[in-house]
Amino acid sequence: MVDFKLHVLGCGSALPTTRHFATSQIISLRDKLYMIDCGEGTQIQMRRMRIRFSRLNHIFISHLHGDHCFGLPGLISTFGMLGRRGDLFIHGPKETEDYLQPILSRFCKGLPFEVRFNPIDTYRHALIMEDRSLNVYSIPLKHRLPACGFLFEEKATEAHLIREMADFYQIPVRLLQGIKQGDDYITPEGERIPHARLTRPSEPPKRYAYCSDTSFSPSIVPLIKGVDLLYHEATFSEADAARARETAHSTAAQAAEIARQAAVKKLIIGHFSSRYEDEQLLKLEADKIFPGTILAGEGLVVTV
């Protein structure tokens, strides 16, 4: 049973409110955590949600607006005080290092770990990170400065061995791992027992796409086709569509239209403007196009 979850730390936009923190999310998959964006207050939200600091090794920054990255200095300082050892990887537009390095040099002298920067070309759809559990791809977005979303694609897990079949054929233990990974079994008599008879298929790999901040951009649809969960920004309501265009943001209906065109399984919307006291209005507008849209909220955990 694989555990691939989205944890929403903050889903407000640039102006702080009493309802929302600035943008940050954590993806948990198996024993690892991955952060997307790190607005002011992110480390405070991690504490509140009791998310373990030590399991986080990768941070993905979508673009260099303050509400997506002003939490990095405090978070990294805290990692230092907690005695973290492993390298911390920060994936983001190439200017991310120019922003952060002088602050680290001034405030975080002698960190017990390395901060490694992976500059992303935000205009390309490309593999930007890979580990045992997943691949992460960039998704070019349209905003007021270089910006990209992220596609988290789980790697296929091994098939489940059918114990009774393994016993029946008396398969040697040393061959079991290969069979789980796709081998057929050849009996001592030379009979080929196909992999599919010996195993049950694993869960299909899941995919999560994060798209914020962006104006309405149907060019991303092929890149996120059929994902299990899409987070798409929905800063404004239809009544403020002109403001969305001016500021290169999306309306709730536009977020839902992207989800519909990409035939995603679930849509969650966020990055709410501070002007809405109640975001149910945004959900209603999205639901008309993509029924069952989920409203993001601080502390919300969604299974991918």
Q: Which residues bind a second copy (CB under 8 A)?
A: 14-18, 21-22, 40-41, 43-44, 47-48, 64-67, 70-71, 73-74, 77-78, 81-82, 95, 98-99, 102-103, 106-107
In the complex, the smallest distance separating the C-beta of residue 94 from a second copy, rounded to whole angstroms, is 13
Which CB, 14 or 241, lies closer to a second copy? Answer: 14
Pairing of strands 185-186, 192-193: antiparallel
Structure tokens at 207: 């995919």
Q: Is 192 helix (H, G, I), strand (E, B) or coil?
A: strand
Asked whether the beta carbons of 48 and 299 are under 8 A apart, the reply is yes
For residue 144, the minimal CB distance to a second copy (Å) is: 11
- Please answer whether residues 14 and 22 qualify as being in contact, where contact means their C-beta atoms are separated by less than 8 angstroms: yes
Considering the complex, state which of residue 217 and residue 273 has its C-beta at the smaller distance from a second copy: 273
Rounded Cα gap, residues 57 and 226, in angstroms: 28
Q: Which of residues 100 and 179 has its CB atom nearest to a second copy in the complex?
A: 100
Q: Report the relative pairing of strands 88-93 and 115-120 from DSSP bridges.
A: parallel
Nearer to a second copy, 65 or 232 (CB): 65
Q: Is 121 a catalytic residue?
A: no
Q: Determine which one of 3, 31, 37, 67 is catalytic.
A: 67
Residue number with CB closer to a second copy (77 or 133): 77
Q: Tell the smallest beta-carbon distance from residue 208 to a second copy (Å).
A: 27
DSSP 123-170: TS--EEEE-SSEEEEEEE--SSSS-EEEEEEEPPPPPEE-HHHHHHTT
Nearest distance in Å: CB 170, a second copy? 56
Q: What is the DSSP string of 198-231?
A: HEEPPPPPPEEEEE-S----GGGGGGGTT-SEEE
Q: How far is the CB of 124 from a second copy (least distance, A)?
A: 23
Alpha-carbon Rg for the chain, nearest whole angstrom, is 22
Active site residues: 67
